[in-house]
Chains A and B, each alone.
Chain A
Amino acid sequence: MKRTPLALLNLIHDRKKFLTSMAGVAFAVLLMFLFTGFKNALYDSQTQLLKRLNGEIVIINRLKENMFVPRAFARRRLYQAQAFDGVEGAYAIYISDARWKNPETKKTRPVRVIAYNPSDPVLTMPEVLARQQALRQPNTAMLDERSRAEIGPRETGVITELAEREIRIVGTFSLGTDFASGNGNLIMSDQNFLRFFANRGPEEDKRSFATADIGLLRVTPGTDIDALVQALRDGLPQDVLVLPMNGPEGFIARERAYWEVNTNIGFVFSLLTTMGFVVGIILVYQILYTDVADHWSEYATLKAIGYDNTYLFGVVIQEAIILSVLGFIPGLLISALFYNLGAAVTGLLFQMTLQRVVNIYVMTFVMCLISGAVAVRKVQRTDPAEVFGL
């Protein structure tokens, strides 16, 4: 036999009030999940293309500070890099913005075109590998099915105009948008890239195979990547930057850090998350305070018959913890729903990792604890002598 679970029984005694309380906590949890979700989605999305690039080392123009900067580098650097020990393959990736005409509304929208030689294993998503041959046909491309709805139907067989030239969609893949991608992404072969971008209008940059936007190096297994990066930095001219793909100093981390440092995303959404946290504190405080006020004479009686403040403190804190758990679960489920919805609408990457779920739970727990600690003062001030003569 154990102690009577007074905290739990008090909480669930009034079903309607209990559900309202749970909804209150769930709401605060939802707010925190949404705002951290947006923040993380904006950050995570910036690197989702980079994470799919199939290589260990990246070569870019020294001035390409982030993916938004359209600076190309001389492709011969890739041939030079190929001469280094441990470099198995060096692939050029060409990137350009272009105007895509929505086949239904005839409105044009900017999209990003990612091009490479289909023989090179640059993007290894199965749907892309399966369409390698189709990509070799002239004036074809694959369309990102997670592009924004503004560009029209995202399906195979669409025929429309890209950069004022007819294009045929021969397949779709799943990537998602980011700040640099405009409304969506296209993958095409390097030959088609030339067809579209070698002879653009007088105002636009002409592209050729002389320059590439991203150079992707694959290394032979067992190569010391850091040493190879160092060797490339020493050996190649200083107009290019050589970065490992992963790691704290890597290409992916650099891209993410750029958006973290140079935008207000972090500040704005952290502020909103804090607001959710504060709203939660107030809601939970109201719930616990009402419970204490409603049961004031019962708690005073407990004090009169010999329970001390520590016990009453324990009861209120237990109620806070129970609320944090029971409110968190529905909050988490609803948030997961909103994450899916958000990902579908915006094309951004909403990830609910275990680490993030744990973080939000810890915040919820602290939130309930603070409210409990404030509400408990009411019980502790209770003078048991006042129960008499009421």
Chain B
Amino acid sequence: MSSALPIASGSPPDVPTTSTEASIQVRNLSYFFGRGDLRKQVLFDISLDLYPGQIVIMTGPSGSGKTTLLTLIGALRSATEGSLRVLGQELVGLGSRQLVEIRRNIGFIFQAHNLFESLTAAQNVEMAVELTGNFRGKRQQAVDILSQVGLAERADYKPAALSGGQKQRVAIARALVNQPQLILADEPTAALDKQSGRDVVTLMQQLAQEKGCTILMVTHDNRILDVADRIINLVDGRLESDASPQQYADAHAPKSLDQKMFMM
């Protein structure tokens, strides 16, 4: 796998320098579900750039199209209208076989850990390593990444013997082990208590900085908004706002909400 891009951790990532290429470049992306009379548009003309080293949180009410956008970027659905470049490759118009290839360069973290109960933590992680064809060093790679997420001692435990937070950390280790430049996460903390959730996002933040990868996370969890470099708000399939956490917090403060409602 290619090494991560070096990023000066001090520079504000939401002001990209011109020399850095966007890892995700979305232009005028629209998406429809169904066909014929039942055809329903869920994404409207989305344009967006995400850069290496950024943690971007996507919020929005349910049904706003967040998950659809995430699955499009993750090459899990094929986009048809507009342009969607992920890690330098145009996804619009690719066949499902080519999409599988793209997915191998992306780390996925799900709301549920989705670990095989029959495999140990290390074996679950090794399943991802095997995709790269590295059979000889897979055990070492798995153990290394598990120590990075603080589970070196638990490498040979099965999921049943791990806590919720530990399982999610194994899932994160599985997403990270191939050092992807892009990580997509869907409510990674939803099933966790406050402390475990905090540990998980801190870990992700750390890794984004160390490896210079882009993290796009869908979440409703207000407790973790502060780790974001940018917060994208999606409403009814349209990009409503794209702001820093501070701006977002100001705009969504109870006071300003009240004002808005008053104006309406």
Please report A residues at the B interface, Cβ cutoff 8 Å: 1-4, 6, 9-10, 12-13, 295, 297-298, 300-308, 383-385, 387-390
Docked-complex contact B103 and A305, CB < 8 angstroms: yes
Which of B70, B77, B101, B112 is in CB contact (< 8 Å) with A306? Answer: B101
Docked-complex contact A10 and B116, CB < 8 angstroms: yes
CB distance from A319 to the nearest CB of B (A): 11
B111 within 8 A of A: yes
Docked-complex contact B130 and A306, CB < 8 angstroms: no
Docked-complex contact A306 and B127, CB < 8 angstroms: no
B260 within 8 A of A: no
Docked-complex contact A306 and B135, CB < 8 angstroms: no
CB distance from B124 to the nearest CB of A (A): 9
CB distance from A381 to the nearest CB of B (A): 13
Docked-complex contact B108 and A301, CB < 8 angstroms: yes
For this complex, 21 residue pairs linking A to B, each with C-beta atoms less than 8 Å apart, are A1-B138, A2-B135, A4-B119, A6-B118, A6-B119, A6-B127, A9-B118, A297-B112, A300-B114, A301-B110, A304-B103, A306-B103, A307-B100, A308-B97, A384-B76, A384-B103, A388-B76, A388-B186, A389-B111, A390-B110, A390-B111
Contacts of B86 in A (CB 8 A): none
Alpha-carbon distance between A389 and B219 when the two chains are bound, in angstroms = 10
Alpha-carbon distance between A388 and B106 when the two chains are bound, in angstroms = 14
Give the total number of A-B pairs whose CB atoms are below 8 A apart: 83
CB distance from A385 to the nearest CB of B (A): 4
Which of B77, B131, B186 is in CB contact (< 8 Å) with A305? Answer: B131
Docked-complex contact A4 and B67, CB < 8 angstroms: no
B212 within 8 A of A: no
Q: Given known contacts A1-B136, A13-B118, is B112 in contact with A305 (CB within 8 Å)?
A: no
Which of A1, A3, A13, A304 is in CB contact (< 8 Å) with B108? Answer: A304
Output the nearest chain B residue to A301 by Cβ-Cβ distance: B114
Alpha-carbon distance between A179 and B110 when the two chains are bound, in angstroms = 69
Docked-complex contact B116 and A295, CB < 8 angstroms: yes
Output the nearest chain A residue to B67 by Cβ-Cβ distance: A389
B74 within 8 A of A: yes
Q: Knowing that A305-B104, A306-B101, A308-B100 are A-B contacts, what are 14 other residue pairs whose CB atoms are under 8 Å apart, sorted by A's residue number? A: A1-B136, A2-B135, A9-B116, A9-B119, A9-B123, A12-B118, A297-B110, A297-B112, A298-B116, A301-B108, A304-B103, A383-B76, A387-B110, A388-B110
Contacts of B126 in A (CB 8 A): 4
Which of A10, A302, A307, A389 is in CB contact (< 8 Å) with B186? Answer: A389
Alpha-carbon distance between A105 and B40 when the two chains are bound, in angstroms = 88
Within 8 A of A (CB), among B236-257: none
Which of B101, B107, B127 is in CB contact (< 8 Å) with A302? Answer: B127
B90 within 8 A of A: no
Output the nearest chain A residue to B102 by Cβ-Cβ distance: A306
Question: Of B126, B127, B135, B186, which is in contact with the most chain A CB atoms at under 10 Å from its CB?
Answer: B127
Number of interface residues of B (CB under 8 A): 36
CB distance from B168 to the nearest CB of A (A): 13
Q: Given known contacts A298-B114, A389-B186, is B130 in contact with A3 (CB within 8 Å)?
A: yes
Contacts of B204 in A (CB 8 A): none
B71 within 8 A of A: yes
Contacts of B136 in A (CB 8 A): 1
Output the nearest chain A residue to B110 by Cβ-Cβ distance: A387
Which of B74, B111, B112, B123 is in CB contact (< 8 Å) with A304? Answer: B74
Contacts of A4 in B (CB 8 A): 119, 123, 126-127, 130
Contacts of A9 in B (CB 8 A): 116, 118-119, 123
Alpha-carbon distance between A308 and B110 when the two chains are bound, in angstroms = 19
Alpha-carbon distance between A363 and B110 when the two chains are bound, in angstroms = 42
Alpha-carbon distance between A387 and B113 when the two chains are bound, in angstroms = 11
CB distance from B187 to the nearest CB of A (A): 8
Which of A1, A298, A304, A307 is in CB contact (< 8 Å) with B76? Answer: A304
Output the nearest chain B residue to A13 by Cβ-Cβ distance: B118
Docked-complex contact B127 and A13, CB < 8 angstroms: no
Question: Of B104, B112, B116, B186, which is in contact with the most chain A CB atoms at under 10 Å from its CB?
Answer: B116
Alpha-carbon distance between A389 and B117 when the two chains are bound, in angstroms = 21
B145 within 8 A of A: no
B234 within 8 A of A: no
Contacts of A384 in B (CB 8 A): 76, 103
Docked-complex contact A10 and B103, CB < 8 angstroms: no
Output the nearest chain A residue to B137 by Cβ-Cβ distance: A1
CB distance from A304 to the nearest CB of B (A): 5
Output the nearest chain A residue to B72 by Cβ-Cβ distance: A385
CB distance from B127 to the nearest CB of A (A): 6
Contacts of B111 in A (CB 8 A): 388-390
B170 within 8 A of A: no
CB distance from B120 to the nearest CB of A (A): 9
Contacts of A6 in B (CB 8 A): 116, 118-119, 127
Within 8 A of A (CB), among B115-157: 115-119, 123, 126-128, 130-131, 135-136, 138-139
Alpha-carbon distance between A4 and B125 when the two chains are bound, in angstroms = 10
Output the nearest chain A residue to B139 by Cβ-Cβ distance: A1
Output the nearest chain B residue to A387 by Cβ-Cβ distance: B110
Contacts of A304 in B (CB 8 A): 74, 76, 103, 108
Q: Given known contacts A3-B135, A388-B76, is B117 in contact with A13 (CB within 8 Å)?
A: yes
Output the nearest chain A residue to B171 by Cβ-Cβ distance: A301
CB distance from A313 to the nearest CB of B (A): 14
Alpha-carbon distance between A9 and B186 when the two chains are bound, in angstroms = 28
